[in-house]
Amino acid sequence: MQLIIDNYNYWLVIILMMAGFYTVISRSNLIKKIAGLNIFQVSVFLLYISIGHVKGGAAPIIEEGVKLYSNPLPHVLILTAIVVGVATTALGLALVVRIKEAYGTIEEDDIHKQDQSL
Partner 1 sequence: MIEEHLPLLIVVIPLLSAPIAAVLPNGRIAWLFSTLISFIVFYLASTQLFEISSLASTDAPVKSIQYALGNWPPPIGIEFKIDGANALVALIISAIAAICMPYAYTSVAREIPEKQTALFYSAYLLCLTGLLGIVQTGDIFNLFVFLEISSLSSYALISLGKQRRALTAAYQYLIMGTIGATFFLIGVGLLYAETGTLNMTDLAQRLPEVFEYRTVHSGFAFILIGIALKLALFPLHLWLPNAYTYAPSIVTIFLAATATKVAVYVMIRIIFTVFGINLIESTPTRELFLLLGMAGVIAASITAIYQTNAKRLFAYSSVAQIGYMVLGIGFGSVLGLTASFVHIFNHAIMKAALFMALGAIMYRISSNHISDMRGLARKMPWTFGAFVIAGLSLIGVPGTAGFISKWYLVLAALEQQAWIVVAVILTGSLLAVAYIWKLVEIMYFNSASETKNDDVKEAPLSLLLPLWLLVIANLYFGIDTSVTVGVAEPTAAMLLGGKP
* Closest approach of partner 1 to the CB of residue 108, in Å: 8
| CB of 43 vs partner 1, minimal distance in Å | 9
Using CA atoms, how far apart are residues 93 and 30, in angstroms rounded to an integer?
9
Which long-range contacts (C-beta less than 8 Å, at least 24 apart) are formed by 77-80?
77/48, 78/45, 78/48, 78/49
Q: Are the CB atoms for 44 and 16 separated by under 8 Å? A: no
99 sits near partner 1 (criterion: CB under 8 A): yes
16 binds partner 1 (CB under 8 A): no
State yes or no: residue 115 binds partner 1 (CB under 8 A). Answer: yes
Q: Pick the closer one to partner 1 by CB: 59 or 102.
A: 102
Among 57, 61, 70, 23, smallest CA distance to 42 is for 23
**Which residues contact partner 1 (rule: CB under 8 A)?**
21, 24, 30, 33, 37, 40-41, 44, 47-48, 51, 74, 77, 80-81, 84, 87-88, 91-92, 95-96, 98-99, 102-103, 111, 115
